[in-house]
Amino acid sequence: MALVTAARRLAQVSLREYSRRSSAVPRGAWQPAERSFTTGTRPLRSDSKVTVHFINRDGEKITVKASPGDSLLDVVINEDLDFDGFGACEGTLACSTCHLIFDEEMYKKLGPVTDEEMDMLDLAYGLTDTSRLGCQICLTKSLEGMVARVPESVADIRQTKDGSA
């Protein structure tokens, strides 16, 4: 019994000593971070989504919300859009199946076309002056409301090269 009492006293003393030492931490010394659930002036992620309209091969308009930074190929995959054969090379610039057509105003906002993208575009069916590869276009807020038309047919250069199509 005496042993239990001694152990309790020791525990109380240790607890008091710990409390005293904890309160003796000088200002500015490390303190556990406070949790904050505010976002300050930064908009919530859902507010910063970009609206994208796709016109499917059969003329159907499909509207989705996507995150800035996502490529149009990411959007098609994430939204599980059923564009037959779209994005066959998964964005490695080896197929041109992610060919999309834009209106002239939007096309000018898409940024420069690299030589590699241009090489693949040259192999796309139905190429227009405002064609781009969806895997090479990353969304920004300035592209809000973009309309991307999926061409009626696609060419997958990988199949043409190996003679399977």
DSSP label at residue 29 = S
Q: 98 to 127, contacts with ligand FES by CB under 6 A?
A: 98, 120
Q: Measured between alpha carbons, how far is 32 from 109 in angstroms, rounded to an integer?
A: 46
Question: Apex CA 26: angle with CA 25 and CA 31, to 5°?
Answer: 60
**For ligand FES, which stretch binds (CB under 6 A), given 28-36, 39-47, 56-64, 92-100?**
92-100
By CB under 6 A, the count of residues binding ligand FES is 14
Among the residue ranges 32-40, 87-95, 101-109, 124-132, the one whose residues contact ligand FES (CB under 6 A): 87-95
Give 96 or 131: the residue with its C-beta nearer to ligand FES: 96
- Position 64 contacts ligand FES (CB under 6 A): no
Cα gap 126→153, rounded to integer Å: 7
CB of 84 to ligand FES, least distance (A): 14
By CB atoms closer than 10 A (0-12, 13-18, 19+), residue 54 is buried
- Minimal distance in Å, beta carbon 44 to ligand FES? 31
131 lies in the site for ligand FES, by CB under 6 A: no
Distance, in Å, from the CA atom of 144 to the CA atom of 121, rounded to the nearest integer, reads 24
Tell me the H-state helices in the chain. Answer: 2-23, 72-78, 104-109, 115-121, 157-162
Q: Which of helix, strand or coil describes residue 62? A: strand
Interface residue with ligand FES among 54, 72, 75, 87 (CB under 6 A) is 87
Task: Please identify, using beta-carbon distances, which residue of 77 and 147 lies nearer to ligand FES.
Answer: 77
Does residue 73 bind ligand FES (CB under 6 A)? yes
Residues binding ligand FES (CB under 6 A): 73, 87-89, 91, 93-98, 120, 133, 135
